[in-house]
Structure 1
Amino acid sequence: METPHTNQDGLPEEAVHPVDQIRPFGKLFLFAIQHILVMVAAPVSSVFLIAKALNLSEALSSALLSSVFVFCGLGSILQSVGIGKIGVRLPFIMLPGGAATILFISIAQGTDLQTAVGAVILTGIFYILAVTLFVRILKYFPPLVIGTMVVVIGISLVKVTGMLFTGRPGTEHFGDPQQLLLALVTIVLTVLCFKFLRGFLRQLSVALGLIGGTLFAMMLGATDFASTIGGPAFSTPTLFPFGMPHLDLIAAIPMLVWSLASMAEATGQTVINGEIVGREVDPTRDVPRVIRSDGIISILGGLFGTPVMVTSGENIGIVRASGVRSRFVTAVAGVLLIVIGCTPLARVLNGIPPAVVGGTAVVVFAIISVLGIQMLSRVDFTQTGNLVTCTLALALGLLPVLIPGMYHSLPANMQTIFGSGVAMSALVAVLLNLLFHHCGGQGRDDAAGKTDSRPQARPANYRI
């Protein structure tokens, strides 16, 4: 009798799907650290922006930082492990939304912090209530639409994280040679790790590149971890840190409008994550699981002062680059994020130079765009409808990314949609897909293209 082949963890091949494999704890721990090193800039910068813009005291800032890390961890565990129809059971990390943070600040400045927190809670409730309606239109999100969105998501993330080492145009330190050097060294070290390392170490290339870039920064005197040690030795999230939340539906409208774009983005991220780990995703079932988790964590986080929490695409590139598909890696990362939120580790990680994080993130996020291109490669672009849909969705989606503020003269609620590259690409792609593939009167070629643009049927051996 032939002996069954085993994988690197000693498990029979085909016995357990790679996304469900529980690796030895040592490996889980190191792979989880890699995810954390890449995403840590998001929660820290989110709290920094809120604290500076709203003049929060050091005590409030510390409590908010603790809350954000703890709920990032809880959200990551919920998405990775899942409870019933909540959580998609894919390797995901949860983060405070970038646009959501800006809207939180804007609402707080226009009203007060209690109203801003109330808007977060209302948005979480809206996620849960709206997902039933949202799932009915997911049939209009075929690979043509999702692939285009994923390309725009990746490019948008590259631009945002690129500014961590370039600075913002027009500012004093824009294009600082030292910051550019730190990012370049980090990128080169990451590439060299991918080239020359093998096996387990190669899977840690992103983390090793970031660590190498940080050590180089320390040699240049560009960072000093000693200054990050001060502060309380133990901290926990504070319930109602800004007082009792005030639920004002009118004030929350900008955030509610943004949440529609967030749900569209979650759709693209869920599908592309499923492709990376080799698990077929049913958007009508799996996307609601993602969005419900976002809603629940946002509601709970709002009670502790956090902005809206969203499942992030930031770690998708890590999964692809490392080849480690186990959802238990991000579950362990979630546990570590909770530990970080309750200890001085959050402040210590803040000592990693932004330029080093930016160099790492640019590599990871560029992978997301490549994955979107890979998805689009399966679309038949000899069909006029597919070509026009993708062309205009990319063009109109990338315009607000390349030319920020181009819609500044529009009302605030319209700016929220049109000013988001992801929202614009999704809106244009869905509308044109409807026009060419779901409305009557299309030509013979376009009718053939209709099949290419729709989701394929799930295989018989499909399993959750």
Structure 2
Amino acid sequence: MNLKVLSLGAQHVMAMYAGAILVPLLVGRALNLTSNQLIYLVAIDLLTCGIATLLQAWKNKYFGIGLPVVLGASFVALSPMIAIGTRYGIPSIYGSIIVAGLFLFLFARYLGKLVRFFPPVVTGTVVVVIGLSLIPSGVKNMAGGTGNQEFGSLDNLLISISVIAFILVINRFFKGYVRSLAVLLGIIVGTALSAMMGKVDFQEVLEASWFQIPQPFYFGAPSFEIGPILTMLIVGLVIVVESTGVFLNLGQICNRPVTQDDLIRGYRAEGLAITLGGVFNAFPYNTCAQNIGLVQLSQNKSTNVVVAAGSILVFLGLVPKIAALVTIIPAPVLGGATVVLFGMVVTSGIRMLSLVDYTNQNNALIIACSISLGLGATIVPDLFSELPPSLRMLVSDGVITGSLTAILMNLFFNFRTILAPSSIQHEEDEKDMFEEKRVKGL
């Protein structure tokens, strides 16, 4: 592996690194993990991101799409994981992830047919609900994090607003690769500012070991509950829809038509990656859309580059001291960065919804009801408290409530259209149009 390939791989790691570290930090802190547990969670996430990337790059008869894709922890799973962990315990999170991963792997051949049930009116609504449900946690971190004695202090607000301002400056005055690193650079600058203000403790970094062997079921043997499993299956299907768009778009960029068999192998690789995340107590994984822009910028379409990126991630995941560096990021820094990221998630959903046919009033109703119920379940978590436990799990989380509402309402209003053969091509054209617009925007 020559220096050029290694440096291009490192660029891919940098582009997805902010998202890769933020998911474990947010989940770990929401579930009140200890410092050692949080360090393990970040390290194993980086390791499994790398393995998942290598699985997709390794095109063979059974799995791997063989395109220059990089996989990272899915933000779609963030809120459901926290909800499951809070209600059922951490082992239940990983039981549901394992089942979802195995489902995607075993039924990959049929998933392409399920994609028609997720047109832009559904996927756009789901993405908007995801972003809206995550924003409150980002805002709380801006103030210092729930339970912080200095919650809302001027120091915390100064740090978080400085991070946002730095990210905006990078986006205003830089382009291309530097702009793609804006959030990561904002986190670095914000942490440095916090250190100068005496708000960063490096003791955990000094005490962390230099090498760690991955440990299956680190948080205990997985448990299998029907509510969490159904929730994570929905998450898995949403991930497949997202990844399908990325696969098709990358195929166009690389001048390589993506066949049905390619998609099946891609779905299987993601199923394997998600199962791996469950076994090693990490996360569900999907393809990182931000890395598409990097492929276009570098014009290097070789899978060798993402193999290098995957190898770098595996190395980082084996070194807990690097993971410990991530865990010292103060809550206000995390808040400033995630408010921007989660806001961009909402924006991405709005772009998807721009493809919806609003001459059909039913589509407007689907969006209105889904977002209202999804946001309502987030703001008023006790809304469904009297329902049976297994059913309550499905609707107590805003993301799942909004997703289920969008899916079921779309079926109710558009059932005949969904099953019509002509609709399949129409939906593919919509997805291609959206992906083309998104890449041009990058």
Give TM-score scaled by structure 1 length.
0.73
In 2: Cα distance, 1:226 partner to 1:169 partner? 23
CA drift of 1:353 comes to 2.1
CA drift of 1:303 comes to 4.0
* 1:156 paired residue among 127, 133, 154: 133
Residues 148-183 of structure 1, C-alpha deviation per residue, up to 9 Å, x if partnerless?
222222223333333332356677554343222222
Residues 248-282 of structure 1, C-alpha deviation per residue, up to 9 Å, x if partnerless?
6xx43233111222123214432564687685998
* 2:170 paired residue among 184, 193, 198: 193
CA drift of 1:354 comes to 3.0
CA drift of 1:341 comes to 1.9
Aligned partner of 1:263 in structure 2 is 236
Q: 1:342-353 maps to which residues of 2 (within 5 A)?
A: 342-343=318-319, 344-353=321-330
Check whether the contact 1:193–1:205 (CA below 8 A) recurs between aligned residues: yes
CA drift of 1:363 comes to 1.7
Aligned partner of 2:115 in structure 1 is 138
Check whether the contact 1:186–1:210 (CA below 8 A) recurs between aligned residues: yes
CA separation of 1:404 and 1:169: change in aligned 2, threshold 3 A = farther
* 1:423 paired residue among 400, 403, 422: 400
Residues 24-71 of structure 1, C-alpha deviation per residue, up to 9 Å, x if partnerless?
543442442242134313224545666x56x89x5x776665434322
Residues 371-420 of structure 1, C-alpha deviation per residue, up to 9 Å, x if partnerless?
22122222221222222222222222222233333222222222222123
Matched, 1:338 2:319: no
Matched, 1:384 2:357: no
Q: What letter is aligned with 1:339? A: F
Check whether the contact 2:101–2:236 (CA below 8 A) recurs between aligned residues: no
* 1:354 paired residue among 322, 331, 335: 331
What SS is found at the alignment partner of 1:229? helix
Aligned partner of 1:299 in structure 2 is 275
Q: 1:154-303 maps to which residues of 2 (within 5 A)?
A: 154-166=131-143, 172-225=149-202, 227-239=204-216, 241=218, 245=221, 251-270=224-243, 273=246, 279=252, 291-303=267-279
Aligned partner of 2:440 in structure 1 is none
- The answer to which structure, 1 or 2, has the higher relative contact order (CA under 8 A, 6+ apart) is 2
Instruction: Give the stretch that moved more between structures: 376-385 or 159-168.
Output: 159-168
CA separation of 1:239 and 1:212: change in aligned 2, threshold 3 A = closer
Aligned partner of 2:84 in structure 1 is 103
Identity %: 24
CA separation of 1:252 and 1:106: change in aligned 2, threshold 3 A = same
Check whether the contact 1:257–1:413 (CA below 8 A) recurs between aligned residues: no
What SS is found at the alignment partner of 1:94? strand
Q: 1:67-146 maps to which residues of 2 (within 5 A)?
A: 67-79=44-56, 83-84=60-61, 86-87=63-64, 89=67, 91-95=69-73, 97-98=77-78, 99-100=80-81, 103=84, 107-108=88-89, 120-132=97-109, 134-146=111-123
Residues 405-452 of structure 1, C-alpha deviation per residue, up to 9 Å, x if partnerless?
322222222222212333333322233333333349xxxxxx9xx899
CA drift of 1:193 comes to 1.3
* 2:24 paired residue among 31, 43, 52: 43
Check whether the contact 2:43–2:317 (CA below 8 A) recurs between aligned residues: yes
In 2: Cα distance, 1:367 partner to 1:275 partner? 22
Residues 273-332 of structure 1, C-alpha deviation per residue, up to 9 Å, x if partnerless?
46876859989777755653343234334444x15x21258x546766997587867654
Instruction: Give the stretch that moved more between structures: 181-190 or 254-263.
Output: 254-263
CA separation of 1:258 and 1:431: change in aligned 2, threshold 3 A = closer
CA separation of 1:80 and 1:164: change in aligned 2, threshold 3 A = farther
In 2: Cα distance, 1:175 partner to 1:275 partner? 45
Matched, 1:406 2:380: no
Matched, 1:310 2:284: yes
CA separation of 1:140 and 1:126: change in aligned 2, threshold 3 A = closer
Check whether the contact 1:210–1:356 (CA below 8 A) recurs between aligned residues: yes
* 2:409 paired residue among 422, 425, 432: 432
CA separation of 1:191 and 1:332: change in aligned 2, threshold 3 A = farther
CA separation of 1:416 and 1:212: change in aligned 2, threshold 3 A = same
CA separation of 1:228 and 1:157: change in aligned 2, threshold 3 A = same
Check whether the contact 1:156–1:421 (CA below 8 A) recurs between aligned residues: yes
CA separation of 1:127 and 1:197: change in aligned 2, threshold 3 A = closer
Check whether the contact 2:120–2:352 (CA below 8 A) recurs between aligned residues: yes
Aligned partner of 1:33 in structure 2 is 14
Residues 110-138 of structure 1, C-alpha deviation per residue, up to 9 Å, x if partnerless?
xxx6x876555444323433555554332
Aligned partner of 1:18 in structure 2 is none
In 2: Cα distance, 1:254 partner to 1:300 partner? 21
Check whether the contact 1:142–1:453 (CA below 8 A) recurs between aligned residues: no
Q: How many residues align?
A: 417
In structure 1, the gaps of 5 or more residues are: 1-21, 441-446
In structure 2, the gaps of 5 or more residues are: 436-442
Q: What letter is aligned with 1:207? A: L
Check whether the contact 1:386–1:453 (CA below 8 A) recurs between aligned residues: no
What SS is found at the alignment partner of 1:144? helix
CA drift of 1:184 comes to 1.0
